Amino acid sequence: MNTLKVVLMLSVLSGLLIIVGYMVARGTGVAIALVMSALMNFGGYWFSDSIVLKMYNARPVTQAEAPELYGVVESLATKAQIPLPKIYIVQSDTANAFATGRNEDHAAVAVTSGLMSLMSPSELEGVIAHELSHIKHKDILISTMAATVASAVVLLSRWAVFFGNDDGNFVSSIAVAIVAPVAAMLVQMAISRSREYEADAGSARITGDPKALAEALMKLSRMASQKPMEANPATAHIFIVNPLSGGTIMGLFSTHPPVERRVERLRRMQADRYE
């Protein structure tokens, strides 16, 4: 069901892109929209991982440099039945983590130095398993597609104001320019939130310990509120908790579900294990 929802939401995004393209230049605009989306997705698929890792000055680490982290990732990757991803550390006092890469064979997991000092061993396992679940379920590809199509909708919507007046359709062009970007953002956020729920559940399945991730999320949420990370808003969706959550972003436009709901779901999973 979750996969079906994602497919439907991606279809809505694609539909918005085609509508906006049509408003810009009719059939030609649709062609431009599709080509633009394809190019952006191609670039995102092949280069988004290196761009993000460089953006946060992530440093690759070996087993000798970070034996605890390396051991956790290696053990959980085996349990998740995926290849061992590359492992990176981001120097930041704020605790957070993310996964990136175009597929299981070209994936990376990055954690902040703040996360390593904050998490207990079981909590660290919960966080890493969450990121490995993203890799296993191709959430990185899905998020990249959603983000690039949404960006294309926003860009073309701006053009609609200037090029959609050829046949007196200026009012509808203005309406599309206002409504389409907001709708695209909402759909993109909905996709991101659904994948976070699924990655939480995936983490619980891999570790067999939903409670550990619930406790980790509460710690991460408190730190994000007290000390938001200096992060690019365009990459907020890749982190395990919103790095910008300092009370300034409306929940409707958040890339992540409320931590309270995520914790509640994990606690229900924990309770179900003992029924």
Indicate the residue type of 95. A
Active site residues: 131
Q: If we measure between CA atoms, which residue out of 107, 108, 121 comes closest to residue 67? A: 121
Tell me the H-state helices in the chain: 2-55, 67-80, 113-118, 121-136, 139-163, 170-207, 210-226, 259-273
In this structure, what are the phi and psi dihedrals at residue 62, rounded to the nearest 5 degrees?
-100, 175
Q: Are 180 and 22 in contact (CB under 8 A)?
A: no
Alpha carbons 159 and 214: distance in angstroms, whole number:
44
